[in-house]
Chain A
Amino acid sequence: MSAQNIRDAVIIGGNRIPFARAHTAYATAGNQDMLTSTLNGLVARFGLQGEQIGTVAAGAVMKHSKNFNLTRESVLGTPLDPKTPAFDVQMACATGMEAIGSMANKIKLGQIDSAIAGGVDSISDAPIVVTDELRGILMEANRAKSVPQRLKALAKIRPGHLSPQAPGVNEPRTGMSMGEHMAITAHAWGITRAEQDELALASHKNLAAAYDRGFFDDLVTPFKGVGRDTNMRADSTLEKLGKLSPAFGRDLGAEATMTAANSTALTDGASAVLLGSEEWADQHDLPKLANFIDYEEGAVDFVDGAEGLLMAPAYAAARMLKRNNLSFSDFEYLEIHEAFASTVLAQIKAWESEEFCKNKLGLDSALGTIDRSRLNVNGSSLAAGHPFAATGGRIVASLAKALHGKPGKLGFISVCAAGGQGITAIIEGR
């Protein structure tokens, strides 16, 4: 599949901690603890103690400034060789995918033989900052050369300056939340409440079934006494989901379709994927689950409403499939990150739409249909939760395992991200 002279980047395996709903089990853990624990679990699973890894790349979307070297500090907290270099990545919800894709590229080019890539996010331990006004005064006081100058600066502080600023989850350029953006897109594509609830239910059922058959035994390591994703509701029903009131797009009145159940909950968690060249994997007697074939970044102009905020993967997928001469029917499994149920459904409808594919993607016809029985077969973010930067690692490791033992079978990944961005990727079982 890959071009000549470029070697395979092999997905060896992964590890994540169970994802926990924000402000619950991991409320006091923080990004550093979660990422370190995840790396420790990965080291233990593959016996990497004392090993010098080519590069470790990971990141967090919600990050304290004190964690400026988050990934490197986590590496130093593991039994990995301290000579293992590491750096932080940040690309909103596509952070994990970008970390994995770029590390795979380094391996393909022969720059490194092994890599760990992933991400972590904590809503519970999010950085809270002071107002810009207070920050300005404090910086002025810091620059002051004498005590009177300093006091003069500090005297400008007013009670209103002291209210803490929670990190923004709204789009800076529109002031709208991601959910409100998605509600517009969902409405435009005519996505029904029933479709969204069905997708959410399938996510919970598939995830619970995967846990029950031991699928996650070698993908997840418990953390702080949590063994399974705490957002998962194995006993949910369409009736229960149908009772919820809309949470987003409420100005649509009776046409509002997005609820707390068909939108992902805020979650804490971390994930990591171990990658290597074929030779490195063989030298270390490690499994080779799948090859990381290709990935594509995309971005759309959402600011003026020309395209939906979370529709970038629709464009990235078209370019990536064309480059690899593939269509959706070539994939054994498809993983479309469930930021919202309607995100998945809008992408599918767009690819099935001749009009969209001709006008927006510049194709001759529709990109194709998605076989729903191959979609998110082991559950996705609606059930597992979505600690922003950790989602890429969750998806890649699970999909690689699902494709292991099916040489040549392909897996498709789509992950949308804030700022109108997204990443799609292809992996191949072996």
Chain B
Amino acid sequence: MARDTYTEFANTSFGRTLTKNLGLPQPAKLRRHRPGRPLIEGPVVVLGSSEAASALADRLLGWDLDVRRNVGPKEKVAGVVACFDSASSPADLSSTVLEIGMLLKQLKPSGRVITVSRDPQGTSDPAVRAARSAVQGLTRSTAHEMRAGGTANGIVLADDLDPSAPGAAGALRFLLSGRSAFVSGQFISVDSVNGALPGNWDRPLQGQVAVVTGAARGIGASIARVLHRDGATLILVDIPAAGEQLAGVANEVSGTALQLDITAPDAGDRILAHAEQHHGRLDIVVHNAGITRDKLLANMDESRWNSVIAVNIEAQLRMNRAFLASELFNADARGAMGPRIISLASTSGIAGNRGQTNYAASKAGVMGMVSATAAQLAARHGTINAVAPGFIETEMTAKIPFATREVARRLNSLNQGGLPVDVAETIAFLASPQAGGTSGLTLRVCGQNLVGA
């Protein structure tokens, strides 16, 4: 991982003054989750007078937060939850929007703005859909305007969903917390009342068995550490050649190392057999393994194209077929929460990237697979989602030439690259029971990358 010396400099007192005067990017040190620390420190203001506003304010009070309906003009604020779920026309938004505007200057570093609205696709009424869509434009633009490590994101509730559903509370808590440090300008849709709030918010995955592919290093190793911290028992998979590092990660998180090539036709069955032998269950699958073989399309050869497609998407499709054919991957049958799959997509798969036709195809393929598999998981009360990282500081991105890397780092609303742990936190959230109402979604962890929608 390459050192981000610019961010270090910009966080010294001289650096802060200089970057401000020169109009340079001012990357802040982001607030990240640490077990045992408060969810968020300072008042959280709930705006709006809708059904969701009262339900979510009750949730926040239940978490012993300093919940306010309004604050004084000088008071510092940690977060703003703006509820627009009752809006039936764009004109209905104005008073709440202007209240957000007044509070932005009072936000503490790494502050949060969270909008709550209804799914635009849930209505055919032009004015209502316009209002709901407008909230999304508002949220994205607010995210661009956030400063000092602050983020703005939205929760999108299904048309008739009770806002007291566990999924809404789970998304709210994730977005307020340091777990979502590098998530900005994004929307978490909550479609159903499925899911449950954990007894212990620091151990939401207690008793759950998770498999992580590509776990020997980088983002995969980070996912293993975060899932372990959150209580999961781990099966860590990587290619045999990465076995030494894989064993190191497995011993660190008290998991088991399973060396296998995920492109093997029986990879899914071998994972199931291992899970059956050691744990008698499998609850969570994280498809993290992936490769890049960059080349301009004009110079693309068969091996570069085929290997990326084989590892990044065909292997996932084949393994999912094996998992979904297995009773072991059907936690619902045991009366617990259903099985969960989380796949690694990429912002390249959303916006495309020069030299990455193969990679972008595979990652866009992942998003297609996720949305199309949601119905099969729903039949087991399970979920499937994707996480699309933007620029993350890894061994892989450390190899990008300095100037290109420096530009890539700053091209997002937080003016810095994310850390592997940021991707891992989002995956852990989507694996948790409190995210049970969200499925078929691709959630970006990109600091609101300016490239791509």
Taking a contact as CB atoms closer than 8 A, the residue among B247, B254, B277, B279 that contacts A221 in the complex is: B247
Hey, which chain B residues are within 8 Å of A221, CB to CB? 243-244, 247, 257, 259
Asked if A287 and B247 sit within 8 Å, CB to CB, the answer is no
- Type the 1/0 row for A212-249, where 1 means its CB is closer than 8 Å to any CB of B: 00101110111110010000000000000000000000
Taking a contact as CB atoms closer than 8 A, the residue among B241, B256, B278 that contacts A222 in the complex is: B241
- Type the 1/0 row for A45-76, where 1 means its CB is closer than 8 Å to any CB of B: 11101100000000000000000000000000
Asked if A49 and B259 sit within 8 Å, CB to CB, the answer is no
Taking a contact as CB atoms closer than 8 A, the residue among B241, B264, B277 that contacts A287 in the complex is: B277
Hey, which chain B residues are within 8 Å of A46, CB to CB? 256
Asked if B240 and A216 sit within 8 Å, CB to CB, the answer is yes
> Can you give 21 contacting A-B residue pairs, CB < 8 Å?
A40-B247, A40-B248, A41-B247, A43-B247, A44-B246, A44-B256, A49-B254, A50-B254, A79-B254, A217-B240, A220-B243, A221-B244, A221-B247, A221-B259, A222-B240, A222-B243, A224-B244, A227-B243, A285-B277, A285-B279, A286-B278
Give the docked Cα–Cα distance between A26 and B72 (Å). Answer: 68
A44-B257 contact in complex given A221-B243, A221-B247, A285-B279, C-beta closer than 8 Å: yes
Taking a contact as CB atoms closer than 8 A, the residue among B256, B259, B279 that contacts A217 in the complex is: B259
Give the docked Cα–Cα distance between A286 and B256 (Å). Answer: 11
A45-B264 contact in complex given A50-B254, A222-B241, A285-B278, C-beta closer than 8 Å: no
Return the chain A residue nearest B254 by Cβ. Answer: A49
Asked if B260 and A222 sit within 8 Å, CB to CB, the answer is no
Give the docked Cα–Cα distance between A286 and B258 (Å). Answer: 14
Binding site for A on B (CB under 8 A): 240-244, 246-248, 250-251, 254-261, 264, 277-280
Hey, which chain A residues are within 8 Å of B248, CB to CB? 40, 44
Chain A nearest CB from B256 CB (Å) reads 4
Instruction: Supply 17 further A-B pairs (C-beta < 8 A) apart from A37-B244, A218-B258, A224-B244.
Output: A40-B247, A40-B251, A41-B243, A44-B256, A45-B257, A47-B255, A47-B256, A78-B251, A214-B240, A214-B260, A218-B259, A222-B240, A222-B241, A222-B244, A227-B240, A227-B241, A285-B278
Taking a contact as CB atoms closer than 8 A, the residue among B240, B244, B246, B278 that contacts A223 in the complex is: B244
Asked if A41 and B244 sit within 8 Å, CB to CB, the answer is yes
Asked if B278 and A41 sit within 8 Å, CB to CB, the answer is no
Give the docked Cα–Cα distance between A416 and B278 (Å). Answer: 37
Chain A nearest CB from B289 CB (Å) reads 15
Chain B nearest CB from A215 CB (Å) reads 11
Chain B nearest CB from A225 CB (Å) reads 8
Chain A nearest CB from B68 CB (Å) reads 46
Taking a contact as CB atoms closer than 8 A, the residue among B256, B279, B280 that contacts A45 in the complex is: B256
A217-B260 contact in complex given A47-B254, A222-B241, C-beta closer than 8 Å: yes
Binding site for B on A (CB under 8 A): 37, 40-41, 43-47, 49-50, 78-79, 214, 216-218, 220-224, 227, 285-287
Hey, which chain A residues are within 8 Å of B240, CB to CB? 214, 216-217, 220, 222, 227
Most chain A CB neighbours (cut-off 10 Å) among B244, B248, B256, B258: B244
Hey, which chain A residues are within 8 Å of B280, CB to CB? 285
A222-B254 contact in complex given A40-B247, A44-B247, C-beta closer than 8 Å: no
Give the docked Cα–Cα distance between A217 and B258 (Å). Answer: 8
Chain B nearest CB from A186 CB (Å) reads 37
Hey, which chain B residues are within 8 Å of A45, CB to CB? 247, 256-257
The 7 closest A-B pairs by CB, nearest first: A44-B247, A44-B250, A44-B257, A47-B256, A221-B243, A49-B254, A227-B241
Return the chain B residue nearest A218 by Cβ. Answer: B259
Chain A nearest CB from B305 CB (Å) reads 24
Give the docked Cα–Cα distance between A41 and B261 (Å). Answer: 18
Hey, which chain A residues are within 8 Å of B264, CB to CB? 214
Return the chain B residue nearest A288 by Cβ. Answer: B277
Hey, which chain B residues are within 8 Å of A49, CB to CB? 251, 254
Give the docked Cα–Cα distance between A44 and B242 (Å). Answer: 13
Hey, which chain A residues are within 8 Å of B256, CB to CB? 44-47
Return the chain A residue nearest B250 by Cβ. Answer: A44
Hey, which chain A residues are within 8 Å of B259, CB to CB? 217-218, 221
Taking a contact as CB atoms closer than 8 A, the residue among B260, B261, B278 that contacts A47 in the complex is: B278
Give the docked Cα–Cα distance between A287 and B246 (Å). Answer: 20
Hey, which chain A residues are within 8 Å of B241, CB to CB? 222, 227
Give the docked Cα–Cα distance between A249 and B156 (Å). Answer: 83
Chain B nearest CB from A16 CB (Å) reads 11
Give the docked Cα–Cα distance between A46 and B254 (Å). Answer: 10
Return the chain B residue nearest A227 by Cβ. Answer: B241
Chain B nearest CB from A32 CB (Å) reads 16
Hey, which chain B residues are within 8 Å of A224, CB to CB? 244
Give the docked Cα–Cα distance between A49 and B256 (Å). Answer: 9
Chain A nearest CB from B202 CB (Å) reads 21
Give the docked Cα–Cα distance between A78 and B247 (Å). Answer: 11
Give the docked Cα–Cα distance between A224 and B260 (Å). Answer: 19
Hey, which chain B residues are within 8 Å of A37, CB to CB? 244
Give the docked Cα–Cα distance between A98 and B254 (Å). Answer: 31
Asked if A43 and B278 sit within 8 Å, CB to CB, the answer is no
Chain A nearest CB from B250 CB (Å) reads 4
Give the docked Cα–Cα distance between A50 and B279 (Å). Answer: 17
Chain A nearest CB from B216 CB (Å) reads 10
Give the docked Cα–Cα distance between A121 and B185 (Å). Answer: 58
Chain A nearest CB from B285 CB (Å) reads 18
Give the docked Cα–Cα distance between A220 and B279 (Å). Answer: 23
Give the docked Cα–Cα distance between A285 and B243 (Å). Answer: 22
Give the docked Cα–Cα distance between A222 and B279 (Å). Answer: 26
Most chain A CB neighbours (cut-off 10 Å) among B240, B254, B278: B240
Return the chain B residue nearest A17 by Cβ. Answer: B244
Hey, which chain B residues are within 8 Å of A41, CB to CB? 243-244, 247, 257
Return the chain A residue nearest B266 by Cβ. Answer: A214
Return the chain A residue nearest B234 by Cβ. Answer: A47
Give the docked Cα–Cα distance between A200 and B261 (Å). Answer: 29
Give the docked Cα–Cα distance between A287 and B250 (Å). Answer: 18
Asked if A79 and B251 sit within 8 Å, CB to CB, the answer is yes
Give the docked Cα–Cα distance between A287 and B273 (Å). Answer: 11
Give the docked Cα–Cα distance between A46 and B250 (Å). Answer: 10
Chain B nearest CB from A211 CB (Å) reads 9
Give the docked Cα–Cα distance between A216 and B243 (Å). Answer: 12
